[in-house]
């Protein structure tokens, strides 16, 4: 079985992607390759940050690798939080404060259109390939649901009456931005 490193230690992301790979390729995390490095996301786009991660691991460990960068883009906030989604309210990865800042920023606004976007950079045998997924929706006026992570409790995908945080992992994986990008990645890997 071929191995592929996902340049993350985010358990939620690993679970979502492992589910899509269905055991065809062994997915490894950064912990699995003993990488404790803090890979600086210095890019100004999702594509740049994904590329930084995948190249860092490929160059240092000489293993096939992919990195992703994802975020929430809100029309009324000129695409913000965007590439800064994980640290929108300051500290990195504080989901509750990031969500609260979005809700506060949208207070009184009627345009609540948004999208989640994921970009994956795969470095396979030295060649880089990109895969992207988006899902459109709206931002709820309050938190709803406890599953998922990040902005899931306030994001309601188009065509649904529940947020990502009110869906099971299977339901979310059927339509999420990351799932769409990963499906494109898996389709590519199946051609190798």
Catalytic residue set: 69
Write out the H or E segment, with its range, that includes residue 173: helix 169-175
Count other Cβ atoms within 10 Å, centred on residue 47: 16
Alpha carbon of residue 11 to chain centroid: 12
Cα distances (angstroms) measured from residue 28 to each of 37, 63, 70: 15, 10, 19
Residue 169 has φ and ψ, to the nearest 5°, of: -60, -40
Strands 65-74 and 113-124: antiparallel
Count other Cβ atoms within 10 Å, centred on residue 120: 28
Q: At 114, is the secondary structure helix, strand, or coil?
A: strand
Tell me 27's DSSP state. E
């Amino acid at each position: 079985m071929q191995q592929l490193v996902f340049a993350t230690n985010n358990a939620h992301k690993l679970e979502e992607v492992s589910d899509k790979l269905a055991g065809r390729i062994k997915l490894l995390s950064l912990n699995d390759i003993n990488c404790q490095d803090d890979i600086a996301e210095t890019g100004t786009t999702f594509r740049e940050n994904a590329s930084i991660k995948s190249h860092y691991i490929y160059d240092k460990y000489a293993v096939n690798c992919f990195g992703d960068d994802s975020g929430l883009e809100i029309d009324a906030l000129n695409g913000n939080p965007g590439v800064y989604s994980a640290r929108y309210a300051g500290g990195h990865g504080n989901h509750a404060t990031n969500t609260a800042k979005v809700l506060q920023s949208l207070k009184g606004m009627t345009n609540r259109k948004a999208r989640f976007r994921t970009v994956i950079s795969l470095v396979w045998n030295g060649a880089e390939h990109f895969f992207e997924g988006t899902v459109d929706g709206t931002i709820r006026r309050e938190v709803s649901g406890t599953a998922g992570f990040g902005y899931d409790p306030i994001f309601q995908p188009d065509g649904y009456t529940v947020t990502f945080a009110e869906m099971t992992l299977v339901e979310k994986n059927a339509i999420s931005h990351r799932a769409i990008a990963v499906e494109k990645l898996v389709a590519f890997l199946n051609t190798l």
